[in-house]
Amino acid sequence: MKQTRIRKHTRHLLTGLGLFLLASLQPLLAQQNEAGQAAPVKLGLMLPYSGTYAPLGESITNGLKLAIKQNGDQLGGRPVEYVVLDSEADASKAPQNMSRLVKGDKVDVVIGPVHSGVAMGMLKVAKQTGAIMIIPNAGLGAATGQLCMPNVFRTSFSMWQDSYPMGKVAYDRGHRKVVTITWNYAGGKEDIAGFEESFTKAGGEIVKQILVPFPETQFQPYLTDIASIKPDAVYTFFAGAGAVRFVRDYAKVGLKDSVPLLGSGFLTDGNLDAQGEAAEGILTTLHYADGLDSDVDRTFREAYGKAYERELDTYAVQGYDAGMMLVQALDQTDGDSADRDALISALASVKLNSPRGPVTFSKAHHPIQNIYLRQVKGGRNQVIDVASRALEDPARGCRM
Amino acid sequence: MDPVFIAIQLLNGLQYGLLLFLIASGLTLIFGIMGIINLAHGAMYMIGAYLAYDLTLRTGSFWLALLLAVPVAVVLGLLIERLFLGTLYRRDHLYQVLLTFGLILVLNEAQRIIWGSDVLSVPVPASLNGNIALTGNLQYPVYRLFVAAICLLVAGGIYWIIRHTRLGIVIRAGAVNRDMVEGLGIDVRTLFTLIFSIGVGLAAFAGMLSAPMTSLYPGMGDNILITCFVIVVIGGIGSIKGAFLGSLLIGQAATFGPVLLPALASVIIYLIMAAVLIIKPRGLFA
């Protein structure tokens, strides 16, 4: 009895001693780390890894990590540590999640989000804290428009930028009366507005604007309505499940043969497997395409194919470019991420030789890039022309 | 609007309404007889669609997939009722709501694990892949007409069972006064299992039929669930006749509403529900 008690005490004592030793060793270990190897650059990834947008989050992460891996897993001579957080594409949790990354984990740069609603929440925190943020997808105009700020960059697109060039394309192809259809939400309306701006400027007329309640995918009544209007063409913005269903229904009711379907590239990007035959021939505009056939693009596609099982998509390119941007900027600052102003001006001066073509950044920190005209051919978004070369987003409302 | 297009829209509305009936009928039966608000009903619609996708891929035939998927869905319903719901009948409604809500999360996550988050589609079976020309530029897919016909058949079958069989008498009696049915020596426990399996099976069947004309994505059943609840409330809880007419009404409203009154597109079905509740607070046929 007595002996067990002693043994127990001993054990406690030993545990305590062990803990004490560990605790006292820790600073020593940390110092070692600092002396032997520089402290890591901390990248906070705030992307959706669950729910509908999970595939996008995965693609962006893949692209980003590939760029940094190709750089020898280092940024400006420092190793890289990823702090990964599932944004769940939930806008209500965005400010809290962003604060956790910035104040709790003290990341150097936040990369995210996919969803524009989440972006709004993140931008609020970015404004308060001055945290550096790179948006690898969310296309809301405001992020580099009314809400623009020095510490926020975007490597993707704006709704306006991807749809504006299509207006001229539609007019040049002889379409005069066009019906537009999209979901009744900010992203859809911004996209349609871009198309409308250039289409009406060229002399075309929007005969009807159809707004479908989000996220309704029962399109039959609208298609019947379109058939009764008999426009020259239909311009549309849908993405994901809605895009798949719209394209299939559009073909199924026979409209595709008499009324050409035009859209922003998100209509067909990543959806071609599910859309199948119904998508063949559709014209879209986007900042990336299949068959660009540049050396950079070819090398990138090969490396991506080797590294990941997932098929390459536009989102992966956006993630890759976010990674390339960090590679260049931190090289320029010799790995210094503490001097925020220096890092921001390094990021702003980045010139990317991207798989999608040359990319530089506007004063509002938005990519100036080519927008391609693509046609679905044999299950690929084949580039057929450059719809607009080095197009800059007007960044309306940005004072910076 | 051209009368031809009005006729086409009527057809669109009818077809949509009939499909909604398949889902709403199960929902109203489960609610009316068992007193269970089955929030997982939409998730079962989704599971049905994914089963159709999966089995079509494996067997190479949509018809074979349908034949296999229906029993799978019914058995899944049976298991849910026996293993989970069955233990909660004595408790407050809130427990059942919580359980079926939990089932949504579990089924959605299971869907994601098994089939992933990418948007999927099922090709229309070749034998029904044709179109019927309606106007110069509009065709009606044969498959949609086929779905409408099947839904009508099922509706007829349900009507016959409820009106002309002993089971139907028990179901009707159960919807009116459950305790009395039990008092008459009818095994309510078995009746519940049967109702739940069939109800949930109908939702899954609707998902299977929809698969070739919609796109499959995580949580695809959540929206349709709300529409079907509206139908159940309009028709009167537990009333199959009410669910049928409610479905047709909502089908037409959801078709004409957005085209004629685009500003009200997203609220039109709720306005109808509110109007019905003002005139008949217990629904049209309760």
**Between chains, do A255 and B137 touch, taking CB under 8 Å as contact?**
yes
Position A17: which residue type? Answer: L
**Between chains, do B133 and A254 touch, taking CB under 8 Å as contact?**
yes
Residue of B nearest to A240 (CA): B119
Q: What is the mean predicted confidence (pLDDT) over A243-266?
A: 95
Q: What is the mean predicted confidence (pLDDT) over A376-389?
A: 96
Q: What is the mean predicted confidence (pLDDT) over A217-243?
A: 94
Q: What is the pLDDT of residue A52?
A: 74
Tell me A38's DSSP state: P
| Residues contacting residue B235 through CB under 8 Å, at least 6 positions apart | B24, B28, B241, B242, B243, B244, B245, B246, B247, B283, B284, B285
User: Would you say residue A15 has pLDDT above 60?
Assistant: no
Residue of A nearest to B252 (CA): A221
User: Would you say residue A12 has pLDDT above 80?
Assistant: no
Which residue in the set A52, A259, A276 is minimally distant from B117, CB to CB? A52
Write out chain A residues lying below 8 Å of B216, CB-based: 241
**Between chains, do A227 and B5 touch, taking CB under 8 Å as contact?**
yes
What are the backbone angles phi and psi of residue A382, rounded to the nearest 5°?
-70, 130
Asked if residue A325 lies in contact with residue A134, where contact means CB atoms within 8 angstroms, the answer is: yes
**Between chains, do A211 and B262 touch, taking CB under 8 Å as contact?**
yes
**Between chains, do B5 and A225 touch, taking CB under 8 Å as contact?**
yes
- Chain B interface residues facing chain A, Cβ-Cβ under 8 Å? 1-2, 5, 8-9, 12-13, 15-16, 112, 116-121, 123-124, 131, 133, 135-141, 144, 213-220, 223, 254-256, 258-259, 262, 265-266
pTM over 0.90: no
CA angle A209, A203, A170 (to 5 degrees): 65
Q: What is the pLDDT of residue B238?
A: 86
Asked if residue A95 lies in contact with residue A121, where contact means CB atoms within 8 angstroms, the answer is: yes
Write out chain A residues lying below 8 Å of B46, CB-based: none
Which residue in the set B120, B124, B138 is minimally distant from A224, CB to CB? B138
User: Would you say residue A14 has pLDDT above 90?
Assistant: no
Write out chain A residues lying below 8 Å of B262, CB-based: 210-211
Neighbours of A283 (CB within 10 A): 24
Q: What percent of chain A has pLDDT over 70?
A: 91
Confidence class for position A3, pLDDT limits 50, 70, 90: low
Q: What is the mean predicted confidence (pLDDT) over A39-63?
A: 92
**pLDDT tens digits for A349-370?**
999 999 999 999 999 999 999 9
At residue A149, the 3 state secondary structure works out as coil
Both structure tokens of A108:
């150097």
From A54's Cα to the closest Cα of chain B, the distance in A is: 7
CATH superfamily of A41-155+293-365: Response regulator (3.40.50.2300)
Closest CA to A208 of B251, B1, B254: B1
Q: What is the pLDDT of residue A28?
A: 43
Asked if residue B227 lies in contact with residue B250, where contact means CB atoms within 8 angstroms, the answer is: yes
Question: CA B18 to CA B146: how far, in whole Å?
Answer: 11
Residues in chain B: 286
**Between chains, do B121 and A244 touch, taking CB under 8 Å as contact?**
yes
Q: Which residues pair with A209 in a beta bridge?
A: A180
The residue assigned the tokens 């022309």 is A385
What are the backbone angles phi and psi of residue A18, rounded to the nearest 5°?
-60, -45
Residues in chain A: 400
Question: CA B194 to CA B189: how far, in whole Å?
Answer: 9
Please provide the average confidence, as pLDDT, over all residues in chain A: 91
**Domain locations in chain A as residue ranges:** 1-35, 41-155+293-365, 160-286
**pLDDT tens digits for A137-187?**
999 999 999 999 999 999 999 999 999 999 999 999 999 999 999 999 899
User: Would you say residue A329 has pLDDT above 50?
Assistant: yes
Write down the architecture of domain A160-286 according to CATH: 3-Layer(aba) Sandwich (3.40)
Q: What is the pLDDT of residue A378?
A: 94
Q: What is the pLDDT of residue B249?
A: 97
Question: CA B186 to CA B189: how far, in whole Å?
Answer: 9
Q: What is the pLDDT of residue B60?
A: 94
Q: What is the pLDDT of residue A4?
A: 53
Confidence class for position A5, pLDDT limits 50, 70, 90: low
Write out chain A residues lying below 8 Å of B213, CB-based: 248-249, 252
**pLDDT tens digits for A77-129?**
999 999 999 998 899 999 999 999 999 999 999 999 999 999 999 999 999 99
Write out chain B residues lying below 8 Å of A210, CB-based: 262
Asked if residue A153 lies in contact with residue A135, where contact means CB atoms within 8 angstroms, the answer is: yes
Q: What is the pLDDT of residue A34?
A: 47
Q: What is the pLDDT of residue B266?
A: 85
Question: CA A55 to CA A240: how far, in whole Å?
Answer: 11
pLDDT tens track, chain B, 286 positions: 688 899 999 999 999 999 999 999 999 999 888 888 999 999 999 999 999 999 999 999 999 999 999 999 999 999 999 999 988 888 888 898 999 999 999 999 899 899 988 889 999 999 999 899 888 888 999 999 999 999 999 999 999 999 999 999 998 888 788 888 888 888 888 999 999 999 999 999 999 999 999 999 988 998 899 999 999 999 998 889 999 999 999 999 999 999 999 888 889 999 999 999 999 999 998 7
Give whole-number Cα distances, A332 to A232, A319, A327, A336, A345, in Å.
52, 20, 9, 9, 10
What are the backbone angles phi and psi of residue A146, rounded to the nearest 5°?
-55, -35
**Between chains, do B216 and A218 touch, taking CB under 8 Å as contact?**
no
Q: What is the pLDDT of residue A11?
A: 56
From A293's Cα to the closest Cα of chain B, the distance in A is: 27
From A187's Cα to the closest Cα of chain B, the distance in A is: 18
What are the backbone angles phi and psi of residue A391, rounded to the nearest 5°?
-80, 130
